[in-house]
Amino acid sequence: MELKVGQAKRLEGTITVPGDKSISHRALLLGSLAHGETVIENFLQGKDCLATLRCLRQLGVKIEEEGEGRLRVEGRGLGNLQEPEEVLDAGNSGTTMRLLLGVLAGNPIFAVLTGDASLRRRPMDRVTLPLKLMGAEIWGRQEGKLAPLAIRGQRKLRPLEYTSPVASAQVKSAVLLAGLYAEGETSVTEPALSRDHTERMLGYFGVPVKREGLTVRLKGRALLQGRPVRVPGDFSAAAFFLAAAAILPEGRVTVREVGLNPTRTGFLEVLEAMGARLSVEVTGEWAGEPVGNVTVESSALRGVEIGGEIIPRLIDEIPVLTVVAACAAGKTVIRGAEELRYKESDRLATMAQELGRLGAKVEVLPDGLIIHGGYPLQGSRVQSHGDHRVAMAMAVAGLVAEGETIIEGAEAIDVSFPNFPTLLATLTEEARGK
Ligand SMILES: O=C(O)C1=C[C@@H](OP(=O)(O)O)[C@@H](O)[C@H](O)C1
Ligand SMILES: C=C(OP(=O)(O)O)C(=O)O
């Protein structure tokens, strides 16, 4: 599918965005392991979360769809998943495969997991290694590094004190979920704080997770109690519209009821440092997650240097941040972001290449990018590389490029934000009509 985006001067409006992807996955997973029912509202009906839903049904979990974004999950309790008859397909979703492996490690069943071509290239040893240390048996291509993977879980796992070499919420979550099946305390220490949705939701379901600095720990064999979960809007989806408002000559966007968990909102700190006008208002808490409204208005932007602990707090926003940087005066340097090479595409390479097609000046570093901002962009044909965030970032770039930008492979957007093209068209058309 192709997505065509024309240059726009104005983007204005108040919107909501679909439910958070990370929280939607976790609500399904924890709901499945809990006692009693979990009703999920504002569940993200993107392909990634639907892959988790399908896998859990294959594992015997009853999940009813009660209407738009409303699901009723009948929890099976810990260790009661059924052996699937068929291969479990995580599609394009790293979160599905890695978190599910953590859960399967503690169930005495055999399962095979696969995914699409992109997922079958992404490193799985970062979770299979600690899970094997806990007692799970896992096989896969390249010594268990790549999917398809086969796993045989154990009724009882060994607790683990794990120091992760990467700041990854998927690694942290896989080990914590497996830790639920271990007798004793399991801990994970990470090099920088990654998103903490698993810790928050475990607490909300009645399993306390203690944090000391960069270490989190939980006691295994605790009972999870099913709870209603209303999923906040996805900050990573909102970021595309916030970025567009910041870089267009006449931009002003408010996103309401969006998740404002500080482990996710590093992008706002960077926008502010670049000179963007923005305001944030926390209005409440949904299932242990802060929620509120964010407004960003157009303003003159300047380049910044980022790296270190902020990177995991804006990891999925870096593709669109490179677009903002291309529109800012001066140089932006992003370092310490090597993890982007292991996403749906190598996002350092793909963003540099595709933005380059529009005339942006981007240098690729081993662990980041240098963007020389301020060069005028020219519409062109670009590719998504099968990566939803690259597709949406390039659509935002298309708004400021002269002429028309055509994004090939735009169907990738369906994994996290199916109504993105419609919402973008609505906001720019409404603004044009004014
Ligand atoms: O745990 C999660 O829900 C996610 C964690 C991040 O990945 P890593 O854990 O690989 O950094 C992020 O990029 C991904 O979109 C979702
Ligand atoms: C990296 C992402 O997701 P996942 O790892 O779940 O495929 C993402 O959504 O940008």
ipTM rounded to 2 decimals? 0.99
Q: What is the mean pLDDT of each run of 10 residues along the chain (434 residues)?
A: 97 97 99 98 98 98 97 97 98 98 98 98 98 98 96 97 98 98 98 98 98 98 97 99 98 98 98 98 98 98 98 98 98 98 98 98 98 98 98 98 98 98 91 60
In terms of domains, do 388 and 257 share one?
yes
Residues 324 and 209 in one domain: no
Whole-angstrom distance, CA of residue 135 vs CA of residue 141:
19
What separation in Å is there between the alpha carbon of 33 and the centre of ligand 2? 23
Nearest protein Cα to ligand 2, atom 8: 316
Any idea what the CATH number is for the domain that residue 31 is in?
3.65.10.10
Domain boundary among 196, 230, 264: 230
- What is the per-residue pLDDT for 429? 80
Q: What's the structural domain count of the chain?
A: 2
Q: Please tell me whether residues 258 and 388 are part of one structural domain.
A: yes
Query: Does pTM top 0.80 for this prediction?
Result: yes
- Where a domain ends, among 198, 230, 262? 230
| CA distance to 108, 253, 266, 293, 317, per residue, from 248 (Å) | 55, 11, 21, 20, 18
* pLDDT reported for residue 349: 98
Note the pLDDT of residue 286.
98
For residues 241 and 208, state if they share a domain. Answer: no
- Please tell me whether residues 70 and 135 are part of one structural domain: yes
Distance 343 CA to ligand 1 centre (A): 9
List 316, 346, 367, 387, catalytic entry = 316
Taking only Cα atoms into account, the Rg of the chain, rounded to an integer number of angstroms, comes to 21
Whether 181 and 305 map to the same domain: the answer is no
Q: Are residues 223 and 236 both part of a single domain?
A: no
234 lines ligand 2 (CB under 6 A): no
Domain of residue 330, residue span = 2-19+232-432
